[in-house]
Amino acid sequence: MKDTSHHDERIAKMTFATVYPHYVTKVERKGRTKEELHQVIDWLTGFNEEKLQELIENQATFEHFFQEANLNPNVDKVKGVICGYRVEEITNPLTQQVRWMDKLVDELAKGKKIEKILRGS
């Protein structure tokens, strides 16, 4: 993957609270629920409803968000293209983690079954 250090830095400083409403809108517009979105985020990060709300209220950056996360051991099964990049080929760990979440949200919005999104866990 080409050098995207400026992009990686921008992602690190972006707050989860600014992106979260877009995730909700995206999945709800496609007939999915906020609860399903939270289930997907919980699978990826280990964050329950309370912790997720705390991170939103505290305006946690993605850097802080993923430092606090307990990533699912099956996360390496998340593959495919998001924003023009193959998630499995992204070299910056934080950018890859954010893109994993983007990919999971995208799969949810596209109507993929929860069991498939959660990679059999």
Maximum CA extent, the chain: 38
4 by DSSP, 3-state: which? coil
Q: In the chain, what are the domain boundaries? A: 5-111
Extract the tokens encoding 54.
């705390």
Alpha carbon distances (Å) from 32 to 17, 38, 42, 103: 20, 11, 16, 15
Answer yes or no: are the C-beta atoms of 117 and 32 closer than 8 Å: no
Residue range 67-117, pLDDT digits in tens? 999 999 999 999 999 988 899 999 999 999 999 999 999 999 999 999 999
Q: What is the mean pLDDT of residues 44-63?
A: 97
Q: Please name the helix (run of DSSP H) or strand (run of DSSP E) that holds residue 10, with its range, or none.
A: helix 5-13
Which amino acid belongs to residue 60? A
The dotted CATH code for 5-111 is: 1.10.8.290
